Chains A and B, each alone.
Chain A
Amino acid sequence: MLYAILCYHDEDMVGSWSKEHDASVMQKLSVVQDKLAKQGKLGPVARLLPTTAATTLRKENPPLVLDGPFAETKEQLLGFYLVEGKNLDEVLDIARDLGEANPGGTYEIRPVGYFTPGSAKT
């Protein structure tokens, strides 16, 4: 079954990481990702731009384009992974590995109901 692992963290804090620190976190994450990729369990991985760059489309008539997701909470959705796992336990282990590589922040694990790989360039 496919699971989405959604990564939440305080965007201000992640934004104030030094370049070196950011690179070292990405490096540690890539170790976990490479392992998953070799096992054929890793789908697309995305790191999102800050929530301030976000736009929201409200389904009104005519559709209303708004700013933000108005993230007033402490932690924002900063990125996500798509992974193949037998069950929740296995995916929790994966999330734990990711969490060790990237201390702080929270991971939400959501089973995927529908998925189409698409063809956009990365």
Chain B
Amino acid sequence: MSVTDTAWIDAALTSARPQAVGALLRYFRNLDTAEEAFQNACLRALKSWPQNGPPRDPAAWLIMVGRNVAIDDIRRSKKQEALPDDDQAISDLGDAEEELAERLDGSHYRDDILRLLFICCHKDLPPTQQIALALRIVSGLSVKQIARAFLVSEAAMEQRITRAKARVADANVPFETPGAVERSERLASVAAMIYLIFNEGYSASGDTAEIRSPLCEEAIRLARLLLRLFQSEPEIMGLTALLLLQHARAAARFDADGQVILLDDQDRSLWNEKLIAEGLALIDKAMRHRRSGPYQVQAAIAALHARAEKPEDTDWTQIDLLYGALEIMQPSPVITLNRAVAVSKVKGPEAALEMIEPLAPRLASYFHYFGVRGAFLMQLGRNEEARVAFDRAIALANTTAEAAHIRMHIDRLMRDSQPRNVKAK
């Protein structure tokens, strides 16, 4: 068996996972049983597929095999555990796979995946547990991988996931397909969960980018999955577009030493054109629906950056307006801070500085506040004040790359101020 054959099977298993685990969960109504049944089915697939070739429908095959294995296990164990009602007996013989595939083809797939996603973002769970559970159950990342991405110990992450599962089990999650209203409410939390997974990967420091980049890719995969289920939801188009456009810049965001490269200084030829094209197509389509929302606005901002061939081509006036719209939808000092950057390009650093002054109390421990403030002050030639802001930023930096980036500004200040001092003497 060649390496690429295994890669093909891996891809098929990953792709089938949400559908298969979702269907097994519907049947067994227990996350652990469903997960274990899927794992066992995967082991069998790894043995059977290379010899017999891929099944017509990998997800249906995995559901069928997973179900049978788990039922056997339950029967064999002495536990007096009641088996679910056998609504439709499935046999290994004959063309059961095709039959099952046909039955699953329509609405079942959609509902099973949704139920799985919805369970992971159960409203009783804190966001960190929602993300951990989704990465474990929907994406199938190992506890070790998730722990590494979140920079916590494997034991701590194991505990977090176990706790989340227990909470879901206690909450007596209804397994009926949610109604239209509930569905749209929960859709927002699923979207938020995907957004959080992406952010977790995006805010990577240079030295952990390799570990976290898969989180961005996973978030994109989940967003596309959600979009397949809700093809005419403009906010889901916006979310997917946003993730694609942000991730398109991944290769240009850090230099070889893992140092941050700001948007203006990035080598735009390193931006991923294919992701940009897809993101732009999605945001263009979303806007036609005339039902704006925060993800669409953020995607529209990212699209304006993506459309600028050179930094000076950026339509900052439009970006300022879009941030204004975002401030109305989701008032937050962080959004105002971002808007101030656009304002500094349109109206100059003085207006921008004035805009962020009132944010100081609320952003007193926010790294980017002091970084941005320092940059405005530096542009105004108020170097001593800029240095104070940069010092504060370094103290608040979350990663070594962030700290190093600010230090570079300070070095520049030192260089700039040296000759002036000499002249003054």
Residues of chain A having any CB pair with chain B under 8 Å: 10-13, 15-18, 20-21, 24-25, 49-53, 55, 65-68, 70-72, 74, 103-104
Per-residue 0/1 for B204-246: is the Cβ within 8 Å of any A Cβ (1 yes, 0 no)? 0000000000000000010011011001100001001000000
> Is B281 an interface position by the 8 A CB rule?
yes
Is chain B's interface secondary structure helix, strand, loop, or mixed overall?
Answer: helix
A53 and B7 contact, CB distance less than 8 A: no
A12 and B225 contact, CB distance less than 8 A: yes
Given A12-B228, A72-B106, A104 and B8 contact (CB-CB distance below 8 Å): yes
Please measure, in the bound complex, the distance between the C-alpha atom of A53 and the C-alpha atom of B225, giving whole angstroms. 13
Which residues on A sit within 8 Å (CB–CB) of B240?
A: 52
**Stretch binding the partner chain, chosen from B10-18, B88-96, B195-203, B315-323:** B10-18
Which residues on B sit within 8 Å (CB–CB) of A52?
A: 224, 227-228, 231, 237, 240, 282
Please measure, in the bound complex, the distance between the C-alpha atom of A25 and the C-alpha atom of B7, giving whole angstroms. 11
Which residues on A sit within 8 Å (CB–CB) of B264?
A: none
Given A15-B15, A74-B105, A65 and B288 contact (CB-CB distance below 8 Å): yes
Which residues on B sit within 8 Å (CB–CB) of A13?
A: 11-12, 15, 58
Chain A residue at minimal CB-CB distance from B227: A52
Chain A residue at minimal CB-CB distance from B7: A21
Residue among A12, A66, A74 with the highest chain B CB neighbour number at 10 A:
A12
Given A52-B228, A52-B240, A10 and B15 contact (CB-CB distance below 8 Å): yes
A15 and B278 contact, CB distance less than 8 A: no
| Nearest CB of chain B from residue A99's CB, rounded to whole Å | 13
Please measure, in the bound complex, the distance between the C-alpha atom of A15 and the C-alpha atom of B105, giving whole angstroms. 19
> Is B4 an interface position by the 8 A CB rule?
yes
B224 and A50 contact, CB distance less than 8 A: yes
A–B Cβ pairs within 8 angstroms, 17 of them? A11-B228, A12-B225, A15-B15, A17-B7, A18-B7, A18-B10, A49-B274, A50-B278, A52-B240, A53-B278, A55-B281, A65-B288, A67-B231, A67-B285, A74-B57, A103-B8, A104-B54
